[in-house]
Structure 1
């Protein structure tokens, strides 16, 4: 009996010991869990702080990268500008000469297109040829030959000399006021001095007084007859009239005829300066028709005015100045083969 009780006591003590040990283990585990949880929270807080710092650092890095890229772009631009400057400074004398000649010819082309005269282009080609001749570079002889061909082609084109034509038309306008009209008879000029009396052939000696009296009487008679004949001729005037309406022109209308003729000539002058050659031709033809219809053709001023108008009509032609394509092509080839 006491053995059973002893066993029970032993088992109870063992159970108590085992329970106490289990309780100790559970307490240790709880402490370990609490410690690990605290460590985890600490690490999590540190991780958040590190993440925030990393984000701030990333923003700073992005800003620095953008700044570096902008500076790199500026450096690239400065480098390209510096390379261009170095290239322009290091160009050879040949290239500088070719660039100058090409620029001068292109500017002359623009001036020719604006003014309608071939003089700027001819002058530029001559100056370019002189510069190349002074430089005396064998490899540029092809350019000189091209300039010579283009210069011959440009000179062969008879471009209208607008300043000269303007002067001629201004002179024709000035002469209009002096032109005699068919409807208004122009007073005839005074007869020329009578011809010298023929020497008297004497077959025998005559008294000097009688000879002098006869000579003066003959001279007086000749002068009187000349005056009478001049008066008779002034009474009759024979004129060829192709347009009868010209003789019916009233004196007050003569002013308007002259002014209309002047306006036609001035319109032709303006059309020439504007390079409207067809319009100028029409105005000049109308002016010539008015001259032939209303003015006297036997007058010297009519002949001069008609000649001026005909010269203007002959020269007022629209001609295209040829481009110096051979020269430009030779310059390009010479620049490419440097």
Structure 2
């Protein structure tokens, strides 16, 4: 019995030693775990403090970002509002510019139409339509394309109309007025040029007498040639005087020959006044009055002046040219251009 107790005591001692060893090891591990836990708790506390600080910073940053976003949204709304206002202003300016261009073109066309009506020339209207066409080409606005087409049609139609060139007609009348003082009248006898064969023979004889060969071969013939030359010159002078006294001319109006010398001045001045009146009528575009004055001037030329003279024929030809070209021609209205401008101005 005591032996069993000793063995039991030994077993209890071993178990006690093992338990103490295990308890010590467990206590050691618990301490290490506590240290590790404390360390980790400290790390977690530091991380949590850092996280709280970062969260606080992120909150501050988010608040700042939200404020910035709100500010940007406000500015964006302001920019959008300003952009819409600028677009409306640009559209208004564009519409106003188009309206101003259309109004300027319409005013220019109407002024050119009035100038053409006053002057009777299509040049003002042609120049204005050409300028409008060039301006539309530079402007390059699709809304005004039909206006450009209408301008091109009116320009072709105006150019096709033949209008009297008043400037050239006035120059021709001035030339006719200048010729009036040089025109030969039927009532005034013009001196005729006597070109006889005797004068030619005398010239040939003088040339032959001047040669030394003729003088050496016929010394006695010089006095006979001189006598013959003197006789022929005397006869030619007498015959020229007789021909100057007698003038045979066919005159359809006898009163033209009966005009007194003091009336010659008034005939020329009356013709000048007729031509000047015709010129003034042309400048004022009174073509009917100009035609009447030109007919009277032509009748005066045919009645009182020598129609066989070249100067009279030249003056008569000038009057016929002016009478044939001085015709009233209406300048066509640019109705297509005005209608297109009115349609654009109305917004259609």
Same fold, TM exceeding 0.5?
A: yes
CA distance in 1, matches of 2:125, 2:231: 69
Larger radius of gyration: 2
Gaps of 5+ in 1: 1-84, 201-205
- CA drift of 1:108 comes to 0.7
1:1-338 counterparts in 2 under 5 A?
Answer: 89-91=93-95, 93-189=97-193, 191=195, 194=200, 209-210=216-217, 232=239, 234-235=243-244, 236-337=246-347
SS at match of 1:280: helix
Residues 197 and 219 of structure 1 are in contact (CA less than 8 Å); yes or no, is this contact kept in structure 2? no
Q: CA deviation at 1:216?
A: 12
How far did 1:113 drift?
A: 1.9
Q: C-alpha offsets along residues 202-247 of structure 1, whole Å, 9 cap, x if unaligned?
A: xxxx988328998999899789858955863543544332222212
Q: Tell me: CA distance 1:250–1:95, structure 2 relative to 1, closer, same or farther (3 Å).
A: same
Deviations 1:105-164 (A, max 9, x none): 111112112222211111101111122223344554433332222122222222223333
Find the aligned partners of 1:219 and 1:326 in 2 and give their Cα distance.
89
d(CA) in 2 for partners of 1:124 and 1:318? 22
- 3-state DSSP of counterpart to 1:117: coil
Worse-superposed segment, 218-227 or 157-166 = 218-227
For 2:53, the equivalent position in structure 1 comes to none
Q: 1:333 offset after TM fit, Å? A: 3.0
Q: C-alpha displacement at 1:99, in angstroms?
A: 2.9
Question: Is the partner of 1:248 in helix, strand or coil?
Answer: coil
Contact kept in structure 2, 1:112 and 1:120, CA below 8 Å:
yes
2:41 corresponds in structure 1 to none
| TM-score, reference length from structure 1 | 0.61
Q: Report the CA distance shift for 1:143/1:245 in structure 2 as closer, same or farther (over 3 A).
A: same
Unaligned runs of 5+ in 2: 1-88
Judging changes above 3 Å, is the alpha-carbon distance between structure 1 residues 328 and 231 closer, same or farther for their aligned structure 2 residues?
farther
Contact kept, 8 Å, 2:177 with 2:272, in 1: the verdict is yes
With structure 2 as the length reference, what TM-score do the two structures score?
0.59
Q: How many residue pairs get matched?
A: 249
CA displacement, residues 182-205 of structure 1 (integer Å, 9 cap, x when unaligned): 0111123474995996999xxxxx
| Structure 2 residue matching 1:131: 3-state secondary structure | helix
Q: Is the 8 A contact 1:194 1:226 kept in 2?
A: no
Question: What RMSD, in angstroms, separates the aligned Cα atoms of the two structures?
Answer: 3.8
1:173, 1:262 within 8 Å by CA — same for their partners in 2?
yes
> Who is 1:40 aligned against?
none
Pairwise CA distance, 1:268: 2.0
